[in-house]
Amino acid sequence: MDIPLFSEYGVNYLVRWGHLLFGIVWIGLLYYFNFVQTEYFKEAEADHRSGAIQKLVPRALWWFRWGAAFTFLTGLYLLYRLHGAMTYDITVGATLGTLMAFNVWFIIWPNQKIVIASATQVAGGGEALPEAAAAAPKAGLASRTNTLFSIPMLFFMGSSAHLPSGMVTDEMAASTVSLVAVFAIILLLQVNALRGKQGPMTSVVGVIHCGLGLTAVLYGCMHLL
């Protein structure tokens, strides 16, 4: 009996389904951290904030970082299956997604571990870890940057199938100037995530507007340059 799910196409679909499922977990928690938890922490009493950091945040971060990891891994498989048939849109979207996964594992999670350890130590009667004061802003900036990146990332992942800009090797779809402009903008924003400041991304409204603006700028560069 022929079962389509066990065919090559079926396996590819399962990976796509997993990619979508893991991505929902990851991006959903990203938005929870940025739109809900961060705003709550600004108003919460110290004891409530400390309790959440010790007991709530580690649980949320577990799902967050592994959602990111499996979204990235399934995405790699899907890129491999494209066999070089890379659209301009999917290239931009995958680049943003890769940087976001990097930020989760190498900036947000390491710094959040310090914040959690410091809160736990203080709750036990000890002193705050000296490095915690710097760790929290670093994690916050990377998280805000991921929120910024997520908006165009989701746009270009979708447009690759429904509103494609052509193959990345197609001169009509991707001029040298266009490629340089798009990836230079992304690179500069990633550098800011490592060493810069939140700026207009400090507020929820600000980061949403910046994300929408970045989507428009990247799309404009892709089609007008």
CB 145 within 8 A of CB 201: yes
Q: How many whole angstroms separate alpha carbon 24 and alpha carbon 36?
A: 17
Q: Is the pLDDT of residue 165 over 80?
A: no
CB 158 within 8 A of CB 90: no
Work out how many domains the chain is built from and give that number.
Answer: 1
Between the two ends of the chain, the Cα-to-Cα distance in Å is 53
User: Mean pLDDT, to the nearest integer, of 54-68?
Assistant: 97
pLDDT in tens, 78-136: 999 877 677 889 999 999 999 999 999 999 999 999 999 999 999 999 999 999 999 99
pLDDT score for 167: 63
Report field, pTM of the whole predicted structure over 0.85: yes
Residue of 198, 209, 191, 178 whose CA lies nearest to 92: 178
Tokens, residue 161: 């199938």
Q: Give me the residues paired with residue 87 across strands.
A: 167
Domain extent for 153:
4-224
Q: Is the pLDDT of residue 166 over 70?
A: no
Q: What is the dihedral of CA 106, 196, 95, 69, to 10 degrees?
A: 20
